[in-house]
Amino acid sequence: MQERPSREFATGIVWFRRDLRSFDHAALYHALKSCQQVHCVFVFDKDILDHLPRADRRVEFIQASVVELDAALRALQPTAGLITLHAVAAEAIPALAKKLHAQAVFTNHDDEPQALARDAIVRGALAHAGVALRTFKDQVIFERKELLTQQGRPYGVFTPYKNAWLKKLDAFYLKPYPMEKYAASLAPCSAPQPVPSLQALGFETTNLASLKLPTGASGGQQLLDEFFARIQHYHATRDFPGVKGPSYLGVHLRFGTVSIRQLAAMAYPLHLQGVEGASVWLSELVWRDFYVQILANFPHVAEGAFKPEYDNIGWEQGKPAKALFEAWCQGQTGYPLVDAAMAQINQTGYMHNRLRMVVASFLVKDLGLDWRWGEAYFAEHLNDFDLASNNGGWQWASSSGCDAQPYFRIFNPTSQSEKFDAEGKFIRRYLPQLAKLPNAAIHAPWTAKPMELQAAGVTLGGNYPQPIVAHDAARTRTLLRYAVVKKPNALPEA
């Protein structure tokens, strides 16, 4: 019988978090190589779950994906499986290491402030017990300080960051971790327990199934296969919410049911061949890395503006501001594209990327409300909520972030609607009360003739609201509001 090679540790634990797959997984790979036996664990962390609404699509997505992960580990090694706990992770991981007599815990990086604080507690508790905590890059191609300017500083502007990203990229960074040949190190589950049901976790079933959003690694692969068949058209279709243009992989990237290396390795060769759709989509993956390293290197963005002077802006406050915000949240602004987009997020937990920019610009620059209000709303409602990307997107829209749009660039919600939903297909889907309006009127119903409104069954102020703000007047107020950060010689564009 062939002697097994010596390993650094007798027993190790892999702590799964936002990486719910059994393939191309950095922490799992390093654990299997370094330990004679490896236990796998996922913690339904009460510190996170206890603050969520009881009906949360993300929890349902995670629970289903964890069930699939457990099965995938058993497929690698029939006696193996996933230990699942419903506890406070910062307490449960050190306790599990003690129970299993583990010498090391392996996990992948998470640079969100709350995650870093949790990991510091875990690291301290493990160190006190003589247990190592090994962490690895897994959710991005480049992270933290891997890419720096010539002055040795983190990038704050996207284009030079992207150039450096593409220059450094080679086969090494796209190579998947080979898991299968080390699978024999997966430890047997002595007392296998089924993954807790959604109800056992204290949550309710949502409309996730009816949305036909596939879960787990198999769902991620299904969406990737579908997108790969149309990636060459991505650049031409991605801005139109009524068209099947995006990859819809955001939630799978968020919870790691797909591998970022797999996605980049798919797009990069096509990019080199000049396939424009692949180049534009690859650029979106670079934006994701960019925002992750912004959060890691400039953690103050989680609380305030990347550019501190933008914290001096005087946002609307009091009851009128709260009423405007509530109208925005409920899709009752009187601007159909904005309202349809808010209906989409409220009904599905998803919002098309073009519309995220439109509704963010509307909240900040039409309504004069603090971008953090919108950021928090998205954080609660988006299936694919990721702090780095969500924060980066909102700060971009409010002009307070790194490489953001100029403060005087203010999206006109009506012209955006006419340009990107010309036939009103998206609006009609989410605002059926406007469905019978002609194309010319559906983008701005207040401009429709009385006979058109009557024929379409639309009553402004009745079954559809009047606009809560006049865009042109709001634009003027915004330029005045942003005067506190206005640079000399910066002239507003028409």
User: Which of 367, 328, 334, 322 lies closest to 463 in space, CA to CA?
Assistant: 334
Pick the catalytic residue from 15, 165, 373, 394. Answer: 394
Q: Nearest 10 degrees: CA dihedral of 381, 387, 390, 396?
A: 150
Residue 425 host element (H or E)? helix 425-430
Pick the catalytic residue from 284, 316, 418, 452. Answer: 284
Pick the catalytic residue from 371, 373, 375, 391. Answer: 371
Please say if 207 is a catalytic residue.
Answer: no
User: Which of 17, 475, 298, 396 lies closest to 26 in space, CA to CA?
Assistant: 17
User: Which of 94, 464, 14 lies closest to 256 in space, CA to CA?
Assistant: 14
Distance CA 385, CA 383 (A): 6
Pick the catalytic residue from 91, 297, 315, 418. Answer: 315
Q: Say which residues have a Cβ less than 8 Å from residue 361's Cβ, sequence separation at least 6.
A: 397, 410, 411, 413
Distance CA 352, CA 393 (A): 13
Sheet strands (E) in 193-311: none
Pick the catalytic residue from 287, 328, 373, 396. Answer: 287
The DSSP bridge partners found for residue 44 are 86
Q: What's the angle, vertex CA 302, arms to CA 301 and CA 304, rounded to 5?
A: 55
Distance CA 460, CA 462 (A): 5
Please say if 315 is a catalytic residue.
Answer: yes
Please say if 328 is a catalytic residue.
Answer: no
Please say if 373 is a catalytic residue.
Answer: no
Pick the catalytic residue from 353, 412, 446, 452. Answer: 353
Which residues are designated catalytic?
Answer: 284, 287, 315, 353, 371, 394
